[in-house]
């Protein structure tokens, strides 16, 4: 089952590869400005579906089009991708030592029928109390600039997240909740060729406590 991934994110490409489903990567650019009063889940759903529909129009070759959008929300404020190192540093200061929500919406379109399916994953993410020097070094590295909230949970040289206190989906924080993707693909009649929770654990080193509940399986 060939999938068109309507995203330029290297993290989403990396995670999708763990499922065993082959993919064509076709980056999509859309206006990600939030509407007035738009909740994180609503914004993520709208943007993911917009990307998937644009991917369907622009790119051919795969039976399914997959898009995703990730929103970071803290204290009623939505954090997108920082414009520069200074904005990245400000975002990291806001997140330091507190928890925030990461919401990722998925949108899948079956090219044959143009049927649209979606799912949403939300994770509470506890951040450690990193130092000002760590913030400046990480911001200057350029790594935060293509990430919502200005950090990557997988960036082990910085390790911004207190993973020992995380109780949700790690892959969601990276940008593609794999078990939600499997659940949505099953609705279209497609089972993954590999054990996705095991592949995710092997890649991230995170002993996920929620995959069985998401997939309706015994842990």
Rg of the chain in Å (alpha carbons): 17
Enumerate long-range contacts of 75-78, CB under 8 Å, 24 or more apart.
75/100, 78/34, 78/40, 78/43
Map residue 21 onto helix, strand or coil.
coil
Q: Tokens 């929770």 identify what position?
A: 197
Of 81, 62, 68, nearest in space to 8 by CA: 68
Pairing verdict, β 99-110 and 64-74: antiparallel
50, β-bridge pairs = none
Measured CA to CA, the distance from residue 199 to residue 196 in angstroms comes to 5
69 is annotated as an active-site residue: yes
Measured CA to CA, the distance from residue 108 to residue 104 in angstroms comes to 13
Which one is catalytic: 69, 110, 133, 207? Answer: 69
Measured CA to CA, the distance from residue 155 to residue 134 in angstroms comes to 13
State the alpha helices, DSSP H only, in 79-219.
Answer: 85-95, 132-141, 170-174, 178-187, 196-204, 211-215
Q: Which residues are catalytic?
A: 69
């Amino acid at each position: 089952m060939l999938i068109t991934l309507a995203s330029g994110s290297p993290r989403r490409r990396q995670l999708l590869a763990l499922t065993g489903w082959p993919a064509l990567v076709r980056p999509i650019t859309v206006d990600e400005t939030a509407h007035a009063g738009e909740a994180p889940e609503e914004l993520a759903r709208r943007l993911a579906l917009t990307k998937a529909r644009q991917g369907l129009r622009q790119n051919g070759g795969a039976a399914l089009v997959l898009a995703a959008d990730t929103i970071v929300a803290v204290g009623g404020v939505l954090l997108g991708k920082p414009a520069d190192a200074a904005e990245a540093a400000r975002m990291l200061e806001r997140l330091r030592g507190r928890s925030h929500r990461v919401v990722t919406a998925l949108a899948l379109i079956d090219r044959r029928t143009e049927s649209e399916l979606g799912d949403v994953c939300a994770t509470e993410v506890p951040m450690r109390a990193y130092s000002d020097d760590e913030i400046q070094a990480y911001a200057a590295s350029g790594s935060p600039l293509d990430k919502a909230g200005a950090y990557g949970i997988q960036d082990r040289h910085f390790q911004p997240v207190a993973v020992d206190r995380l109780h949700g989906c790690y892959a969601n924080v990276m940008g593609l909740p794999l078990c939600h993707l499997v659940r949505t693909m099953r609705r279209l009649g497609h089972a993954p060729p590999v054990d996705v929770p095991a592949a995710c654990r092997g890649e991230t080193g995170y002993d996920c406590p929620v995959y069985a509940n998401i997939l309706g399986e015994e842990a």
